[in-house]
Structure formats: structure tokens, C-alpha cells
């Protein structure tokens, strides 16, 4: 906008912004531009710098906000000073800023701010500055994302929470739960090998997860992997049937514990008075009940001729009646108020067990809650902000939601954490997540101990934490025994980086805190892989070829031939690590001057029977003699 101050530029390795004319790194052609100062931006910059060895310019609003100081301090793993990110400080993104960083000469632009509208506005500005630059936008709303992708041309719209949510869901439900990979024409699943009924459905081994501290991804021998990628034979398993409502059990959660104790005490006094009157006055059971009720409710006259014991009992009953009437009144009023408030807020109104408690209803929390709900898993959601993105989504899906602070034992008990299947804590702050997890484990352990020695021993609470810092996650694992943690930015950054290079990452498969990419990559004309056989694509611990889409419409080779050469009309379906995908992109890159296309010869098993010069079919003996 006119009047905006010019952006300041942080030179690589320096400690303060410098003038825009004093740096040339940010304007060179072929670099990548990233706008954002959040954890995803930091991971994305590191991914482009270390995996793809690409120069990056980063636009941040302030050098002291968010992840900007950490981004400025990033250093490439190979030590190349030319790959250090250039940080441009611009309090307000504008077309002038985009021109200043050389968007029109950039290889691609990534807009990864937290707000959908800000990202859409930035994308429209970038398209006005450069009609041809490739744009990758982070958008949570799928409807908005589809519209932006259709409007802006060469534009990919990705959601970091959508990419990362399956990893959190799988961690919450356990390692035996299949994780589905959706291809346009096929459904695959990452699952333990022993859960695949037909071994022929296994496409490749993904990782060795047992017996090692860290999983070994894409092992050299497929048979060594216990986590495999397999084709789904038959229809996808149906979600579990949802739990039916039990209105009669609602009062157990809605009645206050003090009111239940008071009501129980009065009921005990009435029962004791009934028994005492029946014995002292030799009354039948009904007569004793009748006399007790009338006396307690103030309907009995003084009996001066009665014995002292009878008079004492009647006096106690009258006093109990004085307490009974207000107690019942408070009980009924409290019950009605609690029911109405709970129903209006969508809170949990009946006992539940075997559910998943999701804390934090931001972008990732909303996605995780929706996926668990789609799988038929019971969910109770918690967020302290009534206007959080997922609160209304939970109410629309009829999911119980508590608008309270999760760092409270009372809140966790109200969410029935003592009977839940897993706790998933997805707040943005690592320390808050850890505090909530430790408190929940304490509540869960205390409630289980109250069951006494006769109760069945319950397994420890399964906790899944959202943690950004890898070292912090390791210390938590060693100190507190919380072994399951995931990072949204770590899981999403590889897909964003691949999209910036124009390669489609179809899906991701999480293996612990690591991530494998499922991608479809064309074989470039004159590339290193053109003319090579299928086995040459795969490399242990880096990339595994699972299928080849040929140039023929709808033809996919799931059983890979060993002697069929690859051609430029083929597209490779692969599972790869981040480094493996980067290396494969270099091997499939098209040559500037490719040779003419040579169609592959038909495979012997696919070719027709041998024929003579006149086209007549030859017998086996004729073929050998010819």
C-alpha cells in the first residue's frame, strides 16, 4: 500500500535487518519464497534448504515474533552459506513486498500463515504480481480451498491439519489400527503385517517398528518389515456402531456429589426411623412407612402418651423432614438447571467409556475429532475458548464438548478421562500439553485406585501429545514415559515442500515421529531413469516403487515387471522418505534435449503367439526351428 515503509532484509547469518539494497540473495531467480513465522514455516524452510538444497527467502512480520528468530538462525546441514535463508521483515504483506522479494522470478511461493483469509488475500496479491508463479496455500476450509485452487491457476491448496490428523488418530487408536491411503483409483492401507489376510495384497514393507528404539523405514528386505503397505481387498471396513443414548443414566453425571450425599443421608435416616417405629410400636411395614413419612413431612401430632423412645424417633424424623424439603427442592432445581445448561452447551450428559478425549479444538484438533467421529469412535472434546474453531463443529456432530480449562481435575473427570481409551492433547503450547497429560494420568490413576484390589487392573492411560520440539519430546519420553508424540509441522512440511516443486504428494504415512510420502512422479523425457527397469527405481531406506501408471488410460501395473524399461509416458507411484523423494526427483528430471520417444517392446508374457511372415500362427516346433 502507498505509504508503507520498505521491507527490511535480514542477511544470512547476521543479527539485524539491513536495507533492501544491501542484499541480493533474496532477489535471485529460481529461489523459493515463504510467507509465515509459525512452526510450519520454520519446518518448510528447513525442508527446502536441507532436503532440496534450494535457496529460500522468508517474509515475516517481525523479527521478535513467532518462529522468526529461529528461522533467521537456521543453518544448512551441508554448511553451504549460500543456502542460509534470507529473512525479509514486512509488518504488512503487500504487492510491493512481493515484488521486492522477487516473486516474479521465484520458483514458487508458499503462503502458510495461520488465517485462511490472510492466506487467500496474499495469494490473490501474488497472482496479480506474477501470473505464472506457482503458489502453494495453506487453507483449512476445504470449500474455500477448492475455490482458490480453481481461480488462481497453477496453485495447490493444502491443509497441514488434514495431512497430520491421520497420524494422531492412528496413535490414539493404537498401532493395530489401519491407516488408509486414498488413491484416485485404489484404496491402500498401512497396517501390521499379521493383519493382512492375503500376503499377495502386500505392496511393500514400510518399516521395522519392533525391537528398535527408532523405526527403520523402507528396509532392504520387505519380509523384515512388520508395518506394510497393502491393497484393500473388498469394501473398506464399516465404522463401529455408535453408542446408544441412555437418558435414565444421565443423572449420574448431572447430579452434584454433595447433593447426592445429602439425599442419601436423609434417605438413610428415614429408613432407620421406619425400622425403629415398626419395632417399638409393633407396626406393619406399610404402617411404619406411612407414619414415618407423615411425621417427617410435619403431618404428625405430638404424642405425649408415647414412650420416650417413640417420641425421640418422631423428633428425629421431624428434624429430618425439615432438611428433606429444601434438599429435594435444591435437588430438583439443580437438576433442571444442570440438564438445561449441559444440553445447551453440548456437554457430556451420560456415562461413557472407551472414548477418546481430545483437548484443543484448533485446526488439528477439529480434524482429529472429525476423523475419530467418522470411524465411529466416541469422542469428548475440551477447549477453554467458546469461539474455538472446533466447538461449533462438535455441537453440529452431536459430540460432547466442554468449554473449560483442561488443566483442571474437575474438567478431566467431567470428560470421563478415567474411563477413556486415549487422551489426545493438541494445544499449541508444548508445556500446556505436557501439564494436561500429567494431570490426566494422575486423575486416571486415582480413579482406578478407588476401585480397590477387587477391581480389574486397568491399562495405563494412553496419551498422545502434540509436541513441536524434537529434543523436548525425547526428554519427555525418557523422564515421564510418554512415548507417543507428534508434530503437525513435521508431518506436513514434506508435503508442502513437494508441492512447491510441482510434484504431487498423494498422502503421508506416519511412522512414529517420522513421515513417509506417497507420491506420483512422471518419468521425464531423457531423464536418468528413462530406459531403466523398474527395480532400478527402488533404493533401501529411501524410496520404494509400488506401481507404474502407463500412458494407456486407466492402466496401472501393480505387479511390477522386472524387464520392462520405463518410458517418459510412465508415472511412478512410490513410497519415499523426504531425502529419497528429493533424490528421485533429480533422477526423473527431464533432459533439456531429450532423444525421440521409443516405445517399449511388449513383454514376452504379454505378447501374442509367434507368427510367420504371412501372419499365420506358428506351432511351438515351427517357432523353435525358425
Residue 209 pLDDT level (bands cut at 50, 70, 90): confident
pLDDT on residue 383: 92
Give, to the nearest 10 degrees, the angle between helix 39-50 and helix 488-500: 50
Residue 565 forms beta bridges with which residues?
Answer: 533
Higher pLDDT, 57 or 510: 57
SS3 content of the chain, % helix, strand, coil (to 5): 40, 20, 40
Long-range contacts of 126-133 (CB under 8 A, 24+ apart): 126/98, 127/152, 127/153, 127/155, 128/95, 129/95, 129/98, 129/99, 129/103, 129/104, 130/98, 130/103, 130/104, 130/106, 133/103, 133/104, 133/106, 133/108, 133/109
User: What CA–CA distances, in Å, run from 432 to 182, 428, 437, 466?
Assistant: 34, 8, 9, 10
CA–CA gap between residue 105 and residue 134 (Å, rounded)? 11
What rounded mean pLDDT belongs to the chain? Answer: 78
Q: For residue 327, report the phi and psi dihedrals to the nearest 5 degrees.
A: -65, -45
pLDDT in tens, 601-618: 555 544 444 444 444 444
For residues 359 and 402, is the Cβ–Cβ distance under 8 A?
no
CA distance 575 to 555: 19
Residue 9, pLDDT score: 54
Phi/psi of residue 587, each to 5°?
A: -75, -25
Domains and CATH numbers, the chain: 8-158 (3.40.50.720), 247-345 (1.10.287), 356-486 (3.40.50.720), 505-588 (3.30.70.1450)
Q: Decide if pLDDT at 544 tops 90.
A: yes
Predicted pLDDT at 382: 93
Q: Distance (Å, rounded) from C-alpha 80 to C-alpha 421?
A: 48
Spatial distance between the Cα atoms of 413 and 137, rounded to a whole number of angstroms: 40
Q: What is the pLDDT of residues 508-540, one digit of tens each?
A: 887 877 788 888 899 999 899 999 999 999 999
The band of 498, judged by pLDDT with boundaries at 50, 70 and 90, is: confident
Least confident of 229-233, 281-285, 549-553: 281-285
Q: pTM (2 decimals)?
A: 0.69
Alpha helices in 239-284 (DSSP H): 251-254, 257-280
Closest-CA residue to 280 (of 252, 317, 254): 317
- Give the least confident one: 294-308, 408-422, 483-497: 294-308
What gap in Å lies between CA 16 and CA 13, rounded to an integer?
Answer: 9
Evaluate if residue 267 carries a pLDDT over 80.
no
In 534-545, which positions are buried (b, 16+ CB within 10 angstroms) versus exposed (e)? beebbbeebbbb
- Is the pLDDT reported for residue 179 higher than 90? no
- Tell me the HSE value of 334 on the side-chain side, using a 13 A CA sphere: 16
At 68-86, the pLDDT tens digits run 999 999 998 888 888 899 9
Cell matching residue 151: 481461480
Amino acid at each position: 500500500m502507498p505509504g508503507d515503509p520498505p521491507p527490511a532484509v535480514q542477511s544470512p547469518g547476521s543479527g539485524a535487518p539491513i536495507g533492501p539494497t544491501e542484499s541480493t540473495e533474496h532477489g535471485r531467480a529460481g529461489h523459493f519464497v515463504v510467507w509465515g513465522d509459525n512452526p510450519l514455516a520454520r519446518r518448510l524452510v528447513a525442508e527446502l534448504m536441507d532436503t532440496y538444497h534450494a535457496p529460500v527467502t522468508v517474509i515475516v512480520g517481525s523479527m521478535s515474533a513467532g518462529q522468526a528468530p529461529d528461522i533467521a538462525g537456521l543453518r544448512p546441514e551441508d554448511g553451504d552459506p549460500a543456502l542460509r535463508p534470507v529473512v525479509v521483515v514486512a509488518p504488512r504483506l503487500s504487492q510491493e513486498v512481493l515484488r521486492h522479494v522477487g516473486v516474479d522470478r521465484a520458483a514458487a511461493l508458499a503462503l502458510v500463515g495461520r488465517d485462511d483469509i490472510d492466506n487467500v488475500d496474499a495469494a490473490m496479491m501474488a497472482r496479480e504480481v506474477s501470473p505464472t508463479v506457482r503458489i502453494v496455500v495453506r487453507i483449512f476450509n476445504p470449500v474455500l480451498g477448492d475455490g482458490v485452487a480453481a481461480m488462481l491457476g497453477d496453485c495447490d491448496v493444502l491443509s497441514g491439519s488434514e495431512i497430520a490428523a491421520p497420524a494422531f488418530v492412528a496413535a490414539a487408536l493404537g498401532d493395530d489400527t489401519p491407516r488408509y491411503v486414498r488413491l484416485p483409483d485404489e484404496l491402500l492401507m498401512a497396517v501390521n503385517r499379521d493383519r493382512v489376510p492375503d500376503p499377495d495384497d502386500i505392496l511393500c514393507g514400510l518399516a521395522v517398528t519392533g525391537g528398535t528404539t527408532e523405526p527403520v523405514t523402507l528396509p532392504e528386505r520387505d519380509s523384515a518389515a512388520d508395518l506394510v503397505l497393502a491393497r484393500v481387498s473388498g469394501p473398506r471396513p464399516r465404522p463401529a456402531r455408535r453408542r446408544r443414548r441412555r437418558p435414565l443414566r444421565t443423572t449420574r453425571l448431572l447430579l452434584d456429589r454433595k447433593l447426592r450425599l445429602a439425599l442419601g443421608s436423609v434417605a438413610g435416616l428415614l429408613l432407620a426411623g421406619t425400622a425403629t417405629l415398626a419395632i417399638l410400636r409393633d407396626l406393619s411395614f406399610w404402617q411404619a412407612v406411612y407414619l414415618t413419612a407423615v411425621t417427617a413431612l410435619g403431618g404428625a401430632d405430638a404424642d405425649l402418651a408415647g414412650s420416650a423412645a417413640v417420641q425421640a424417633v418422631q423428633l428425629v424424623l421431624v428434624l429430618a423432614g425439615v432438611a428433606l424439603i429444601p434438599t429435594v427442592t435444591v435437588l430438583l432445581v439443580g437438576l433442571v438447571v444442570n440438564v438445561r445448561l449441559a444440553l445447551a452447551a453440548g456437554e457430556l450428559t451420560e456415562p461413557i467409556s472407551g472414548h477418546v478425549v481430545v483437548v484443543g479444538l484448533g485446526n488439528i484438533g477439529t480434524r482429529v475429532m472429525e476423523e475419530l467421529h467418522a470411524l465411529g469412535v466416541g469422542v469428548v472434546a475440551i477447549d477453554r475458548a467458546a469461539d474455538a474453531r472446533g466447538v461449533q463443529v462438535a455441537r453440529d456432530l452431536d459430540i460432547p464438548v466442554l468449554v473449560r480449562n483442561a488443566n483442571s481435575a474437575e474438567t478431566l473427570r467431567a470428560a470421563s478421562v478415567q474411563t477413556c481409551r486415549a487422551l489426545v492433547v493438541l494445544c499449541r503450547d508444548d508445556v500446556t500439553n505436557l501439564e494436561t497429560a500429567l494431570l490426566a494420568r494422575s486423575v486416571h490413576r486415582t480413579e482406578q485406585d478407588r476401585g480397590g484390589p477387587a477391581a480389574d487392573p486397568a491399562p495405563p492411560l494412553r496419551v498422545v501429545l502434540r509436541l513441536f520440539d524434537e529434543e523436548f519430546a525425547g526428554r519427555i519420553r525418557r523422564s515421564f514415559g510418554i512415548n507417543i508424540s507428534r508434530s503437525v509441522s513435521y508431518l506436513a512440511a514434506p508435503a508442502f515442500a513437494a508441492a512447491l516443486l510441482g510434484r504431487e504428494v498423494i498422502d503421508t504415512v506416519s511412522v512414529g515421529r517420522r513421515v513417509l510420502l506417497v507420491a506420483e512422479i512422471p518419468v521425464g523425457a531423457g531423464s536418468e531413469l528413462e530406459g531403466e527397469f523398474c527395480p532400478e527405481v527402488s533404493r533401501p531406506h529411501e524410496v520404494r516403487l509400488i506401481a507404474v501408471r502407463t500412458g494407456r488410460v486407466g492402466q496401472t501395473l501393480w505387479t511390477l515387471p522386472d524387464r520392462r524399461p520405463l518410458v517418459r509416458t510412465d508415472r511412478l507411484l512410490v513410497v519415499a522418505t523426504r531425502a529419497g523423494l528429493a533424490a528421485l526427483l533429480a533422477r526423473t528430471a527431464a533432459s533439456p534435449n531429450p532423444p525421440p520417444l521409443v516405445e517399449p517392446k511388449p513383454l514376452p508374457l504379454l505378447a501374442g503367439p509367434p507368427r510367420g511372415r504371412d501372419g499365420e500362427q506358428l506351432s511351438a516346433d515351427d517357432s523353435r526351428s525358425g
